[in-house]
Structure 1
C-alpha cells in the first residue's frame, strides 16, 4: 500500500532511472498490516475501517493501477501483474517473480511485479471467499497480464562505479591534507558556536570558514545550516561544534559564542548563550544589554569592512574578533580557511584576510 501512496514518487523515480532492482508490490486492496484501512488500491464500493460505506470515487478517487503507471516509463525491463487466487496462478506468479529476479541478477535494470493477494483477516473472508474476491472483483479491476518483458532483449546495464575514496573526495573539495596548521590545544573542551543573520550577509560562509579552520587543525567539527525559503533576506543561521572527540549532534541548543549580524538573531538566540559565554554582534544593531553572566561585545564590523573597501566582508571582521576571543584555533588556520573558501574568487582573498586582521586588532584595542 505504501508503495502506491507515500512511496509513489520514490517508486516512479527509481523505475524511471532503471535502477537495477526487482520490486514486488503486494496488492491486497487494503492496508493489511495496520488494521485494514482504505488503501490506494481499495476497490470502488469496497468497505474498510476508514470507509464504512465503501470507497466513493468522488471523494477518495479511483484505485491506483501501478503496473499501468510503471508501463508509461521507458526504462523498466519487466512488468507483470500476477494473482494468488488458485494454485495454477500461484505457479505463474512464481515464474514471473523468477524472471524479475533474473533481470536484477543479470544487472539489466528495473523489474516490477504486482501481486494480487488475499487479506482474509481484515476482509473477514474464509479461503473460498478470499479466492472469489480476487478472481471476481480484484482481477476485473486489475487485469492479470504481462505488460513488458525485455529480459532477453536487454543487455546488462554498465554504469561507472562511484568513487567515494578519501583521495577522490579530497580532489573534488580541494583538500590538502599535507597543509595542516597544527594543534593549538589537544585538550580543548567542545566549543559550540552559532552564527546568525539575514540571508546574503555571509552567515553560512562564516560558519564554513570556522569549520574549515578547525578541520585543517585536525579537530572534530560539524557545520549545521538552517535557512528560510527566501533566496536573500530571510533568516539564516548555522551551528558549528568544535571538539577533540566525536561529536554526538551538530545541533547547538546551548551556545558558547553567538555571532549575530542582525537584531532578530540577537533577540532569538541570546537567551541560548551559556552563562560565561560570549555574544558578539554588529554594532549597527544598537545597544543590547542582558542581566545574565554573558560577555556582550558590540563590534562595528560593517565600518571595519567598509574601511577596507568591501562592506560584504563584515562577517570576516567578526571572525577576526573570534580569533582573539578564543584560543581554540590559530589565526593562521582562519587565513588558510579563507584561501580555501575563496579559491574560485582569488581577488577577494587578500581583502578578507586584511579584514580578518583588522577585526582581531579592533578586539585587542577595545577589550
Structure 2
C-alpha cells in the first residue's frame, strides 16, 4: 500500500493506492465518526463492488448504507442523471455534515462530485475509482461536472474530495478497451513534464496491458504523484494545471462531435494528443522522431492515433470554439516542444492548425 498527499493546506487529502482497499475501513472510519455515508455508482460497477463497500461501511454508521445505481456511460453524464442524484439525496434526507461516496469510473466520479459540490451548497465526498482512467486522472484534483450537448465538461465546479481510495484489484474486471483508454492519461503525464516516465512506459507497455500488478501499481502511483504536484501548484487551473489538458481540446471535440460514448474518453484524448503533436511539428517545435515515439507508444497501448473520419475540419473548429481554454475569443492549445515539455499557448499559426485538421481528418 502506498499513500500520497495532495497538498492544499487545510484541504489536503490522501490518495491510498493498494489491493483490496474497498475493504479498508481504517481509512474510512475517521471520516465517518457521527456521520452517514451514501453511495453513488452505476449498473456495471454496482453488481461487482457495491456489496463489498457496503459491508465495509455498515459497522461504521448506525443506519443502512443507501446506494443509487445510475445508467452506465458517458452519454448519461448529464443534467438528467444529476437530478436523479439530487432526488436520491433528498429522499434519503442526507444532511450537510454527511458524506457521499463515488464508486465507479470517471463519469460517476465527475457527476457525483458535482452533486456533492452543489447539494446544500457543498458536502464532503470520497472517491473510490474503479477504472484506470479514473484512478490516474479524474478522481484526483477536484474537477467535477457534467456534459452539455454543445460541449464536454462545460458545467461543473472545483470540489476536492476528502479521500481517494484506489483499489488496484478493481482493474481485474476492467475490459481491455477501458484499460487502454486509461493508459492514454498515463502516457499524458510523461509527455507533459516527465520524460523519464515516458521512457519507462515505452519499455513496460506490454506488461501494463497484460495487467502486471507491479507495473500497474508503479504507473498509477507515478501518475497520481505527477498530477498531485501540479494540482498543489495550481488548484483552479489559472496557469500550469492547464498543461494536464494536453490533447483534450481536440479530444473533447471528438467526443462531442461523435456523440458521447461513441469513443471512450481516453481514445479521444490519445487521438487528440497526436493532433497536438502534429500541429507542434508543423510549427517546428517538436522533431519527427519524438512524434514517431508518441505514435508507436499509443499504438502499442491499443489506442487510436488519428481522429474519426466522420468529423470535418469545420465541425472541429465549431466545437473547439466552445472549449474552456478559450479566452477573449482566442483558442488556446496545449502543445509540445519535446517529450516532457508542454506549453499552453494561443500564439500559433492558424494556417498550421488548419493543415493539421485537413490532414488528419482525411487520414
TM-score in same-fold range (> 0.5): no
TM-score (norm 1): 0.27
TM-score (norm 2): 0.27
Greater relative contact order structure (CA < 8 Å, 6+ sep): 2
